[in-house]
A and B are shown apart, each in its own frame.
Chain A
Amino acid sequence: MIYLDANATEPLRPDARAAMLEAADLGGNPASVHAAGRAARRVLEDAREALGRRFGARPSDIVFTSGATEAACHAIATLGRNRRIIVGATEHDAVRAAAPGAAILPVDRAGRADLDALARLLVGPPALVCLMAANNETGVLHDIAAASLLCHENGALLFVDAAQAAGRIAIDFAESGAHAMALSSHKLGGPPGAGALLLASQCATVAPLIAGGGQERGRRGGTPALPAIAGFAAAAERPSPAARLAGWRDRAERQAVAAGAVVIGAEATRLPNTTCIALLGIPAEIQVIALDLAGIAVSAGAACSSGKVARSHVLDAMGLGPAADAAIRVSLPWNAQESDIAAFADAYGAMASRLRARRAA
């Protein structure tokens, strides 16, 4: 099986595995004051500092969560209180569900947030803007710096879902000017079950979403998922494989285009590991099944809504019409091999000619 579905989950990095095993050996609860507890506490705080260094956040303003969904919901529930909420049209379901009545910020055909529309939407009472750094289905990046500037000019808060971007492109939370940012461990090669909410110092004293024993400075109850958090930090410290992956992604894309594919979001700056390619007229589901049978794991969109293949709201928002039903996501993991690209290109080419021939017949 050739795994090209990294945006669903990245394979675990060996450093993360080692850090987890080491932390699992400690056993203690990081809130306990005895020797085992203090050792666990040290691992927890080291992880917090490592993430702070890597992503430009103050360690004391990092709240560990169970993952990016919890972090996003927490940010929106607390920062969005008494504010209008503006949500990018292509945001992850976790963000859209957390702000059901939100104003929608449209995107252009390449999937980039329409900043003129943002400026117009920001006129009025104080707002919270939710914009992802990189899209999970297309890899398209928003211009967070420009959006942040607009937010600051208009007294708005900015929440950035960086689950897909962190570990793949440079992220500096402080420099971005965002007020909150969500990170996911398993999207950057750490284990699942951990995530983080980064907070700007003026927003750092948020009410908990999960109330409890006062952990995380009263901002998140529950015993921290220690081995997972140690693995998260270790994975985050690894350098990004971006340069290598971008070249291979481009090659895979060229070969798919030669086989008849259309690249979604090609005009935009994108994550180096992601391509979203459509074969017009062939349902995405059929393409994914064909590739699965050929031993290649890709997806037709987000992994969350298990089983049901719903039309992608991301591609709809980009105004792609029929292409929205015919696009698959190919996302290279950190440990992709050059041979994976050749295998993918062969399987894709064979699938495209077979399915198109059948359709023509």
Chain B
Amino acid sequence: MHSLPNRPIYLDNQATTPCDPRVLAAMLPWFTEHFGNPHSAEHVMGRQAEDAVEAAREEVGALIGAESREIVFTSGATESNNIAIKGAARFARSAGTLSRRRVITIATEHKCALEAVRSLAEDGFEPVELPVSRSGLLDLDLIGAALREPTLLVSVMTGNNEIGVIQDIAAIATAARAAGALFHTDAAQAVGKIPIDVQALGVDLLSISGHKLYGPKGVGALYVRRRPRVRLTPLFSGGGQERGLRSGTLPAPLVIGFGVACRLAGAEMAGDAACIGGLRDLMLARLRAAIPDLVLNGDPDVRLAGNLNLTFPHVLAAELMAAVPDVCLSTGSACSSAEIEPSYVLRALGLTPAEAARTLRIGIGRFTSRADIEAAADAIAVAYASLAASRPIPARSAVGA
């Protein structure tokens, strides 16, 4: 068995990624010597910060095939999702075009998107949550059927944060737009991990998070299509920054770090994905060799390279995690990781509450090494064997229930 290193092995890269040291180094001067407010156009320190912010906007746009003026900086993907979903609905309501009342999403969306969509019921909209198949993918016939009712907005995430599956965004966006609906995708997990081109995909609105692509926490972006122009009502107003869509002083150092993170992701995506995918396969092979009844949740092929979502026979995920305290794992979304409720994403795949309680998420990232994977796989396998051996026999007969 490999000995564990002197700090935890971080395998929770869907919750958050470590800030890349190159990003941190690029940000630091903008915290200290170049600390001007990017909205202070009246003096040179403000203009320097503004120029750097605009360069970052270019980098973010370039990563997804967008023009820089289509990028609105926010505090993160949660805020981006809120602005996109509520903003599109509120604009439609204010414009008096409530003929399209339906807002469609899927059962496995991130909680913030689901909550935003559900909240629209209060404003007279009709939220629709489509189920997904056992593999976690949306059946395109379902979206076609749902779109027969006049629909304002379809919001379907690109890569899932718990099970890693990647939806067929191009097809869903095409269907949505053919039906006259706007299309939004929460791409927080996908941007920087897989190639994304807003033109090729045909999306109108796309949410990005800084800290999911090795950038800083506290910054994100919303892509807002200009041709044809997507109109939104801001979530909150104020100084009128970001063309009135998002008021508040832009956190210049965070924005600049986010830009660098996007540039690095663009340059290193292919290499990262190959390397991370190899580590993912190694982890899965090692665990399967030790635990033959292990079940991989989510489509095995159409998924983010860095994600494994595994249901273990017999043993509770919480017990397994407690038995490997030096490996950072999770039972699902970080937001609700303190909750005892079974993951609604896994339930949507058809897992029973008992199966969901035996499920772990393993998130591999840019800074995960082969040694990390070997050590973690061995530690998990050993802990599993010891926990499974201590199970009473009747519990074993419940496998697969």
Contacts and interface: CB of A to CB of B under 8 A. Distances in A.
A34 interface: yes
B12 interface: yes
B78 A210 contact: yes
Given A17-B31, A292-B42, A66 B79 contact: yes
A211 B35 contact: no
A72 interface: yes
Interface in A21-45: 24, 27-29, 31-37
Nearest to B114: A211
Interface string A280-295: 0000010011001000
A40 B50 CA distance: 31
A186 interface: yes
Interface string B230-248: 0000011111110000011
Contact of A94 (B41, B237, B329): B237
Interface stretch (A172-180, A302-310, A352-360): A302-310
B110 A210 contact: no
B216 interface: yes
A287 to B, nearest CB: 10
A184 B249 CA distance: 10
Mostly helix, strand, loop or mixed at chain A's interface? Answer: loop
A223 B334 contact: yes
A29 B209 CA distance: 13
Given A305-B39, A305-B239, A94 B248 contact: yes
Contacts of B337: 31-33, 37
A298 B237 CA distance: 25
Contacts of A92: 238-239
B238 A93 contact: yes
B249 A186 contact: yes
Which of B119, B211, B321 is packed against the most chain A CB atoms within 10 Å? B211
Contacts of B217: 223-228
Contacts of A322: none
B67 interface: no
Contact of A227 (B75, B216, B240, B335): B216
B46 interface: yes
Given A225-B218, A302-B239, A8 B37 contact: yes
A213 interface: yes
Given A35-B8, A93-B240, A66 B19 contact: no
Contacts of B291: none
B111 interface: yes
A90 interface: no
B46 A223 contact: no
Given A12-B31, A192-B249, A303 B46 contact: yes
A74 interface: yes
Nearest to B23: A24
B36 interface: yes
A92 B252 CA distance: 21
A108 B262 CA distance: 50
Interface string A92-125: 1111011000000000000000000000000000
Interface stretch (A214-222, A256-264, A339-347): A214-222
A213 B110 contact: yes
B72 interface: no
Interface string B306-349: 00000000000000010001111110011111110000000000
A300 B40 CA distance: 10
Nearest to A288: B42
Given A69-B238, A69-B249, A221-B112, A37 B254 contact: no
Nearest to A225: B218
A94 B328 contact: no
Interface string B25-46: 0000001100111111111111
A215 B335 CA distance: 7
Contacts of B237: 73, 94, 97-98
B251 interface: yes
A165 interface: no
Contacts of B333: 213
A194 interface: yes
A92 B236 CA distance: 14
A74 B236 CA distance: 8
A192 B12 contact: no
B39 A209 contact: no
B127 to A, nearest CB: 13
B16 interface: yes
B78 A223 contact: yes
Contacts of A94: 236-239, 247-248
B236 A73 contact: yes
Interface in A297-343: 297-300, 302-307, 309
A3 interface: yes
Interface string B68-105: 00000011111101100000000000000000000000
B328 A211 contact: no
Which of A184, A192, A209 is packed against the most chain B CB atoms within 10 Å? A192
Interface in A140-185: 184
A297 B249 CA distance: 18
Contacts of A224: 217-218
B268 interface: no
Nearest to A211: B115
Given A285-B42, A292-B44, A305-B240, 8 more contacts: A94-B247, A98-B237, A192-B37, A213-B78, A221-B112, A225-B75, A297-B45, A305-B239
29 contacts: A5-B36, A5-B40, A24-B24, A28-B10, A28-B15, A31-B337, A32-B334, A32-B337, A33-B321, A34-B329, A66-B75, A94-B248, A193-B219, A210-B78, A210-B235, A211-B116, A214-B111, A221-B82, A221-B112, A222-B78, A224-B217, A225-B76, A226-B217, A227-B19, A297-B46, A299-B40, A303-B249, A304-B241, A305-B240
Interface of A: 1, 3, 5, 8-12, 17, 20, 24, 27-29, 31-37, 65-70, 72-74, 77, 92-95, 97-98, 184, 186, 191-194, 209-215, 221-228, 285, 288-289, 292, 297-300, 302-307, 309
Q: Which 9 A-B pairs have the closest CB atoms?
A: A213-B335, A304-B239, A225-B218, A193-B251, A94-B238, A73-B236, A222-B78, A212-B112, A66-B75
Interface of B: 8, 10, 12, 15-19, 24, 31-32, 35-46, 50, 74-79, 81-82, 110-112, 115-116, 119, 209, 211, 216-219, 235-241, 247-254, 321, 325-330, 333-339
